Amino acid sequence: MTLSIGHDLEISEKVSLNFGALISFNQKSDFAVGTYSGLHNYELSAGADIALTDTISASISALFTEGISDNTRQAIDSETTTGVSLAYAF
């Protein structure tokens, strides 16, 4: 189960910022990650969408995730992921 929240902030007509947060709960079962019930991990994300022209846009994003409980930290490491993309609309 996860709970997430996000917010978009329009800086200008061509630039917007995106922020998000997520927290997950692991329910013990034969198919779940780990053999415990409890808080699992959290994620923080941020990004920017930039309209370069009427048809070309760029996006920049970053996400950080880390385990919350000792059980989770034994199974996964903290991780940071970043990305850049270009899009052409026709």
pLDDT tens per residue across span 28-55: 777 655 677 888 899 999 999 999 999 9
Q: Please provide the distance, in angstroms rounded to a whole number, between the alpha carbons at the two ends of the chain.
A: 38
pLDDT for the residue 61: 98
Residue 52 covered by a domain:
yes
Domain assignment of residue 82, given as a range: 2-27+37-88
Count of structural domains, the chain: 1
pLDDT for the residue 73: 81
Residue 32 covered by a domain:
no
CA distance 40 to 25: 5
Q: Are 41 and 25 in contact (CB under 8 A)?
A: no
CA distance 45 to 9: 14
pLDDT digits (tens, 9 = 90+) for 52-81: 999 999 999 999 999 998 878 877 789 999
Residue 6 covered by a domain:
yes
Q: Which helix (H) or strand (E) holds 58?
A: strand 56-67
pLDDT for the residue 70: 84
Residue 54 covered by a domain:
yes
Query: Which of 58, 61, 66 lies closest to 46, judged by CA?
Result: 61
What pTM, to 2 d.p., does this model score?
Answer: 0.80
